[in-house]
Copies of this chain bind each other. A is one copy, B any other.
């Protein structure tokens, strides 16, 4: 049972750090993972709608190809859940985003959720996802940390020293029961943050692997009779 995890951005370094997290989760979930990413020509991080647009076609091609190669489920490892609907059209196996996985988990274990993301400009994007997933009553705040995605790579100590007081302030302000890490790059700090904050911390990367594994084991497939039907064949069609 193989799970495909795609990092939509073009950063090889972030992909390696993602792969470590994902392999560890896959071990616990009892499944294999294969990790792909956007490669060259794709922005090194997804910070805004145009970055999403630029990452879309390489990501969809990765999903299409892994789907045909037998992946039993796909994970989109960017907290913007970039291109989720299009991905569901081009795949037979189920597709889940890490924001979706994190919220699906957080609402099972808590009633007041805070989300932290990187830049302020990503806040409206995440708020739109919160509405899409029907969690607006549960999520008390989506907060920027003013840390660009790429700053999260590398030196753990320094990142933690910058993140801890910001996230502590968020939890207090929102009177949150659970904190969702709104960026794949924060995944590696989950355990350290939970210790440092004394509050439940949820990482969409790990959870998406577990939920994808569950969907795969249950042999769930994307419905092909409605909105997620395969793209139609026509002049210029890319996936038909």
Contact = CB atoms under 8 A, between A and B. Distances in A.
Interface string A133-148: 1111100000000001
Contacts of A28: 217-219
Contacts of A50: 60, 86, 89-90, 231, 238-239
A155 interface: no
Contacts of A112: 124, 226-227
A53 interface: yes
Interface stretch (A15-23, A41-49, A158-166): A41-49
A200 B223 contact: yes
Nearest to A134: B134
B177 A234 contact: no
A228 interface: yes
A185 interface: no
A111 interface: yes
B177 A85 contact: no
A10 interface: yes
A108 B48 contact: no
Contacts of A136: 134
A131 B120 contact: no
Given A56-B57, A121-B226, 7 more contacts: A10-B235, A28-B218, A44-B235, A54-B238, A120-B226, A177-B226, A202-B220
Interface of A: 9-11, 25, 28-30, 38, 40-45, 47-54, 56-57, 60, 83, 85-86, 88-90, 94-96, 100, 104-105, 107-112, 120-121, 123-125, 127, 131, 133-137, 148, 150, 175-178, 199-200, 202, 206-207, 210-211, 213-215, 217-223, 225-229, 231-232, 234-239
